């Protein structure tokens, strides 16, 4: 159910200063297509994995539209033939999939909306595949699986939905979490062993806590030893963490769902790390200074090298990389990183070399991201790259050829692939050059790879290549082609900072007319709105075709422009970014006279929704109307790890929290504002918009509010997508008008 009725508070918004021109009305069939194809992701290959020898490529793919039910496919590289390896229907006999609240929350953390086979794991030797499905665990023997109805076996265990099932390194065992405790299943016999006790409402074993999943990109809560004899597991105690509840307002008779949610300045989950034999037995607890470093940011148990953990202090200004002695749980410090603002987490760091005598490390110590090679004891052997703002943390280690494959490049709107020599004196060499976003997945021996390219224009492509670039085949995409193609201009705004910007004009653009401008904004950390990928701007093009020029700008606080650029937002999440958006917009208006800066709207979701509210509250001379989707309105109500990274602790930065809150500036709202929010949002809770509505009402302000009953932080279904976009265009047409003739 979806509330389509507009909730108007106090009074209708004031009439616009001029009568809206008749805007062209593109067929809303595009919105139906956008939703039915999950923004054209359905039908695309994903979750790509290669067998160790590169002879086969596995991947998931759904039909191009309708129910996003994914099947598992295999491509034989030699013949180029592709076949269905496994389907959910075949495994389940046509029965539907039922998910627990915990699994739904886990998928929400992973932004996972597909059904069917949503994940799988290929064993290290490539012989077995693990597939979790409908609360059950299946193992497929590839050698015996010559047909879709071949060797598929279910591993049955105790009652309880199995979370995060994964193979041991030799694929002879599978571990999983049931009802907050850790279990191990022997694949050959099917026998299951319970390893831990005490999991329940306030404690869990083997699960990543909320902030680890949501903010640290750490999805797992347990880790196999290379020999399969031991498991390192997280024990999380949330008994002191504040509980937030989500109720269905249309069914007050139903009990609300309750989740531990740590808000800034309040208690986090108490996290410890234990080591337990895979056959069962006593836990050995890992020892580190948890008072100083309460966050367990990452755990790595490499085949060669020590069990390694990265721990952070509460303010994320200091972190320690520790080597663990499994027999005793004792730790030894390998290195300590410090930053006066905050430390970014680089996923998959450290990366240990095969000899176990050195590891790769990434740092921003010298002003931008830099790749280093460090000895086993942590001391620096040499820097492999110069400090480069565009260097991304995603990399692949190819020791056989003495190479590290990295992503990045000098243009922050792109991500190219580079080869970085491990030897001293080597220089990075480009592997890709075509404008766009590149990614690469390797076979274990690095002889074969899958190169994914999302180009600046056109459809994404997945090519199977030899490491020298020879094309060996293609992964088939059956995704639909969008019914419109964006008209894009990438530019530098021309302000003193050189902010990157992209301009989306109507496809029927008339240079003899001036257009109201709409800013499509995120504006926050770790996200860019200006990227060399035309698919990102389909929605903006649809909006532009209604008679607007749509602009996106990346100012300070966004990534891939260096440490100082990103950390300019420390202690105040809105002042600097809002200045940059306004300054860059004004610079664009001076250059492009078709932009009517007397009529500017702004819209965004999540941080972008927050930004949009503050834009009309604090800069009404620049921004004349706003739409805010799921906005964070007070940082005291968001989670600890994200908020405190940028804002510090509330008792040490009370002024910053106050100045960055949309509630503080509610009294100054004079521009039309439309707020959209899902009632079941467990990321930015519905309370954010309710608090804003209350503050605006008490200040006597006009605004509009559309609640989405039962929606979470994302709106993906056809009705929701259609309603959101139509409300946005109606709001801006009503309050900004349409194109007007250029004055002669």
Question: Annotated catalytic residue: which of 606, 612, 660, 689?
Answer: 606
Note whether 210 and 195 are within 8 A (CB). no
Active site residue 713: yes
Residue 19: its H or E element:
none
Question: Annotated catalytic residue: which of 572, 681, 688, 702?
Answer: 681
Residue 575: its H or E element:
helix 575-591
Residue 177: its H or E element:
strand 173-178
- Strands 230-237 and 222-224, sheet pairing: antiparallel
How many other CB atoms are there within 10 angstroms of residue 700's CB atom?
Answer: 10
Q: Which of 142, 116, 115 is nearest to 129 (CA)?
A: 142
**Exposed, middle or buried: residue 634 (CB in 10 Å: 0-12, 13-18, 19+)?**
buried
In sequence order, the 6+-apart residues with CB closer than 8 A to the CB of 104 are none
C-alpha–C-alpha distance, residues 286 and 298, integer Å: 14
**Exposed, middle or buried: residue 553 (CB in 10 Å: 0-12, 13-18, 19+)?**
buried
Active site residue 606: yes
Assign 145 to helix, strand or coil.
coil
C-alpha–C-alpha distance, residues 140 and 126, integer Å: 11
Token output for 676: 């959209």
| Geometric angle at alpha carbon 562, from 403 and 550, rounded to 5° | 110
C-alpha–C-alpha distance, residues 539 and 33, integer Å: 11
Active site residue 681: yes
Question: Annotated catalytic residue: which of 438, 451, 677, 713?
Answer: 713
For 642, phi and psi rounded to 5 degrees? Answer: -70, -55
Quickly tell me which residue has 């591993």 as its tokens.
155
Q: Please, which residues bridge with residue 95 across strands? A: none
Helices 607-618 and 575-591: crossing angle, nearest 10°? 70
**Exposed, middle or buried: residue 70 (CB in 10 Å: 0-12, 13-18, 19+)?**
buried
For residue 7, give Cα distances in angstroms to 622, 697, 718: 26, 13, 21
For 575, phi and psi rounded to 5 degrees? Answer: -60, -55
Q: Which of 157, 197, 190, 187 is nearest to 282 (CA)?
A: 197
- Strands 403-408 and 416-421, sheet pairing: antiparallel
How many other CB atoms are there within 10 angstroms of residue 414's CB atom?
Answer: 22
In sequence order, the 6+-apart residues with CB closer than 8 A to the CB of 95 are 134
3-state helix, strand, coil in the chain (%, to 5): 20, 35, 50
Note whether 85 and 99 are within 8 A (CB). no
C-alpha–C-alpha distance, residues 215 and 170, integer Å: 31
Note whether 275 and 224 are within 8 A (CB). no
How many other CB atoms are there within 10 angstroms of residue 355's CB atom?
Answer: 10
Residues assigned a catalytic role: 606, 681, 713
């Amino acid at each position: 159910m979806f509330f389509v009725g507009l909730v108007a508070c106090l009074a209708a918004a004031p009439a616009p200063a001029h009568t809206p021109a008749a805007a062209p009305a593109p067929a809303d069939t595009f919105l139906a297509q956008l939703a039915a194809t999950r923004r054209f992701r359905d039908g695309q290959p994903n979750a790509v994995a290669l067998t160790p020898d590169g002879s086969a490529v596995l991947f998931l793919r759904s039909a191009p539209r309708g129910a996003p039910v994914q099947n598992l496919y295999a491509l034989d590289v030699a013949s180029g033939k592709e076949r269905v390896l496994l389907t959910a229907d075949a495994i389940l006999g046509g029965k539907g999939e039922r998910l627990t609240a915990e699994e739904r929350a886990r998928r929400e953390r992973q932004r996972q909306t597909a059904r069917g086979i949503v994940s799988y794991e290929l064993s290290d030797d490539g012989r077995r595949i693990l597939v979790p499905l409908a609360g059950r665990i299946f193992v497929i023997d590839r050698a015996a699986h010559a047909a879709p109805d071949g060797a598929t076996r279910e591993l049955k265990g105790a009652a309880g939905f199995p979370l995060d099932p994964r193979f041991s390194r030799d694929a002879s065992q599978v571990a999983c979490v049931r009802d907050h405790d850790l279990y191990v299943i022997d694949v050959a016999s099917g026998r299951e062993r319970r390893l831990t006790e005490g999991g329940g409402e306030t404690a869990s074993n083997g699960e990543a806590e909320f902030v680890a999943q949501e903010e640290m990109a750490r999805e797992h809560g347990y880790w196999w030893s290379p020999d399969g004899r031991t498991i390192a597991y997280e024990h999380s105690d949330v008994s002191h963490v504040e509980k937030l509840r989500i109720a269905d307002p249309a069914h007050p008779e139903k009990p609300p769902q309750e989740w531990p949610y740590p808000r800034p300045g309040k208690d986090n989950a108490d996290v410890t790390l234990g080591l337990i034999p895979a056959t069962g037995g006593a836990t050995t607890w890992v020892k580190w200074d948890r008072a100083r470093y309460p966050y367990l940011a990452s755990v790595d148990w490499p085949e060669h090298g020590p069990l390694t953990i990265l721990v952070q202090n509460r303010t994320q200004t200091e972190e320690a990389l520790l080597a663990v002695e499994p027999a005793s749980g004792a730790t030894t410090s390998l290195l300590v990183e410090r930053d006066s603002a905050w430390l970014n987490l680089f996923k998959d760091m450290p990366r240990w070399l095969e000899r176990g005598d050195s590891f790769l490390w990434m740092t921003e110590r010298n002003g931008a991201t830099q790749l280093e090679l460090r000895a086993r004891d942590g001391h620096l052997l040499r820097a492999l790259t110069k400090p480069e703002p565009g260097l991304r943390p995603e990399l692949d280690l190819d020791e056989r050829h003495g190479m590290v494959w990295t992503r990045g490049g000098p243009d922050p709107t792109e991500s190219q692939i580079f080869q970085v020599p491990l030897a001293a004196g080597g220089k990075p060499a480009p592997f890709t050059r075509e404008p766009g976003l590149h990614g690469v997945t390797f076979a274990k021996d690095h002889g074969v790879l899958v190169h994914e390219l999302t180009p600046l224009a056109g459809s994404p492509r997945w090519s199977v290549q030899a490491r020298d670039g020879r094309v060996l085949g293609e992964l088939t995409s059956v995704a639909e082609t969008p019914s419109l193609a964006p008209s894009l201009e990438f530019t530098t705004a021309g302000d003193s900072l050189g902010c990157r910007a992209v301009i989306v004009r109507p496809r029927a653009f008339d240079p003899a007319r001036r257009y109201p401008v709409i800013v499509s904004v995120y504006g926050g950390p770790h996200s860019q709105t200006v990227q060399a990928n035309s698919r990102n701007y389909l929605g903006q093009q649809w909006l532009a075709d209604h008679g607007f020029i749509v602009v996106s700008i990346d100012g300070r606080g966004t990534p891939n422009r260096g440490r100082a650029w990103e950390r300019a937002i420390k202690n105040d999440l809105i002042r600097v970014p809002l200045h940059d958006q306004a300054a860059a917009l004004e610079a664009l208006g001076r250059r492009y006279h078709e932009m009517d800066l007397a009529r500017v709207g702004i819209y965004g979701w999540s941080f972008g929704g927050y930004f949009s509210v503050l834009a009309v509250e604090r800069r009404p001379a620049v921004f004349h109307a706003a739409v805010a989707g799921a906005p964070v309105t007070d940082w005291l109500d968001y989670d600890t790890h994200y908020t405190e990274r940028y804002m510090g602790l509330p008792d040490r930065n009370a002024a910053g929290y106050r100045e960055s809150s949309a509630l503080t500036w509610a009294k100054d709202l004079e521009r039309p504002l439309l707020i959209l929010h899902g009632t079941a949002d467990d990321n930015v809770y519905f309370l954010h918009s309710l608090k804003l509505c209350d503050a605006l009402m008490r200040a006597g302000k006009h605004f509009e509010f559309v609640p989405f009953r039962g929606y979470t932080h994302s709106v993906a279904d056809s009705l929701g997508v259609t309603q959101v976009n139509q409300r946005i265009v109606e709001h801006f047409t009503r309050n900004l008008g349409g194109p007007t003739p250029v004055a002669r």
